[in-house]
Amino acid sequence: PPLRFDVLTLFPGLFEGFLSESILKRAIRRGLVSVDLWDIRRWALDKHRSVDDTPFGGGPGMLMMAPPVVSAVEAVRASFGDGPGRLIAMTPAGRRLDQAFVSELAGEPRIVLLCGRYEGFDQRIFDVLRPEALSIGDYVLSGGEVPAMAVIDAVMRLVPGVLGDERSALDESFGPDGGLEYPHYTRPRSYRGLGVPEVLLGGDHAAIDRWRRRHRREAGPPA
């Protein structure tokens, strides 16, 4: 069965390019991953389709209102045939995403990602839905959509069959250090007077492994 993501957002259009290019596109076409988008505005209650409002007590910006968000999550979950799924709200106040959590999520059948906009969520959204809260780093973005894409991207590439080369997800070079554990080279062989280490040009894989181990953590810009 595929790994299923359900994304609740005010801006489903932001995901269009993300879902229709490259590895994720192929994974979806192959039925390994699914991403369903749900526009929270569908669950707005008033004639103006409001989903946000000013904070009681004053302060800057707008908050996501509880009724549309809670109704959206409940309706989406009610449409599942297979349990409630794991509910995760994207917020800079959440626990920080890391590769260990990504691996944990890759073992889930169904992940519901709730994206906020504006200054944040009405507290009662957390009180009623009890989502996990997840941050992708200590900086503030203008919404949870880019963070949700980061989660989907990091998790889907661990799903068996998603990467062309099965080893890529396990290879240290694609691990938490971002594919930069040892220096990598591709064509051209000579560039601005800089060559490629001779050992990498030959077929001695034991020697290549030794070279890579020796040059571990030397990748990227000089410290």
DSSP annotation of 134? E
Which amino acid makes up residue 82? D
136 is in an annotated binding site: yes
Span 64-123, contacts to ligand ADE by CB under 6 A = 90-92
Helix axes 145-156, 99-106, angle to 10 degrees: 70
Shortest distance, position 114 Cβ to ligand ADE, whole Å: 10
Using CB under 6 A, count the residues that bind ligand ADE.
Answer: 11
Q: Which of 156, 147, 61, 60 is nearest to 106 (CA)?
A: 156
- Alpha-carbon gap, residue 144 to 94, rounded angstroms: 11
- Minimum Å gap between C-beta 112 and ligand ADE is 15
Segment contacting ligand ADE by CB under 6 A, of 32-40, 137-145, 176-184, 204-212: 137-145
23 is in an annotated binding site: no
Q: State the CB neighbour count (10 A cutoff) for residue 195.
A: 11
Q: Is 141 annotated as a binding residue?
A: yes
Nearer to ligand ADE, 19 or 150 (CB): 150
Interaction site with ligand ADE (CB under 6 A): 90-92, 135-137, 139-141, 144, 147
